[in-house]
């Protein structure tokens, strides 16, 4: 949902985590009346870059600036989804994308068997700030202290950066306990959120 105009909502289709019963999608749907009616964005229809739209974020100041994390790339639109540009493509599935809560220029994304990416220019360019071979990574940023970022990989290992992604360290959680986070399905069941008031208080689901 666009923060600047709650009438505008985007919905991605496709289940891009490679479970055996995953459903292939067909692009992005858009509503301009708070979800009462929907239209498929023609630019994303029958387009392999949008067969699996894993996450969507919208510039809080501009409902027409959208970034989509898909199984082929990171796609960006500046005209409400009429046209798109591939802003990152290294043949890896992009499964998560998040924005700094106070500065949309700063974005983070995760690449399957790639690691964590960062952009400092609203997603026009990206670079790896943390490399990982542990498959799916879910990201969370602390609203009350945005320089604190968490990355939870599918093996249940939690990593923390306290300087906006420049450096990362494994958490101090005991190895015997961490397996309870996600069980054996971190590639599929993987969720993490940070309290809006406390950067050290996490909720994890697996």
Condensed to tens digits (0 to 9), the pLDDT of residues 72-91 reads: 999 999 999 999 999 999 98
Query: What is the reported pTM?
Result: 0.94
Distance CA 73, CA 85 (A): 10
- Tell the burial category of 174 from Cβ atoms under 10 Å away from its Cβ (0-12, 13-18, 19+): exposed
DSSP run (H or E) holding 128: strand 127-131
Distance CA 93, CA 73 (A): 7
Distance CA 120, CA 171 (A): 26
**Tokens 């749907």, located at residue:** 29
Tens digit of pLDDT for each residue in 135-187? 999 999 999 999 999 999 998 899 999 999 999 999 877 655 655 678 889 99
Q: What is the pLDDT at residue 174? A: 62
Question: Computed over its alpha carbons, how large is the radius of gyration of the chain?
Answer: 17
The DSSP call for residue 24 is P
Residue 92: pLDDT band by 50, 70, 90 thresholds? very high
């Amino acid at each position: 949902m666009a923060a600047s105009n709650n009438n505008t909502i985007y919905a991605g289709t496709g289940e891009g985590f490679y479970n055996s019963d995953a459903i292939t999608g067909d692009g992005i749907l858009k509503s301009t009346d708070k979800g009462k009616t929907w239209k498929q964005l023609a630019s994303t229809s029958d387009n392999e870059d949008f067969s699996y739209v894993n996450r969507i974020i919208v510039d809080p100041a501009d409902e027409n600036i959208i970034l989509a994390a898909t199984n082929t790339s990171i796609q960006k639109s500046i005209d409400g989804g009429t046209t798109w540009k591939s802003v990152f493509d290294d043949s890896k599935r992009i499964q998560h994308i998040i924005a700094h809560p106070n500065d949309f220029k700063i974005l983070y994304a995760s690449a399957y068997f790639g690691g964590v990416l960062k952009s400092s220019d609203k997603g026009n360019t990206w670079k790896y700030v943390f490399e990982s071979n542990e498959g799916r990574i879910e990201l969370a940023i602390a609203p009350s202290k945005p320089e604190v970022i968490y990355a939870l990989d599918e093996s249940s290992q939690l990593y923390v950066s306290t300087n906006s992604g420049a450096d990362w360290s494994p958490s101090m959680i005991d190895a015997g306990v961490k397996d309870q986070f996600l069980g054996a399905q971190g590639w599929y069941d993987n969720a993490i959120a940070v309290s809006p008031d406390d950067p050290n208080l996490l909720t994890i689901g697996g």
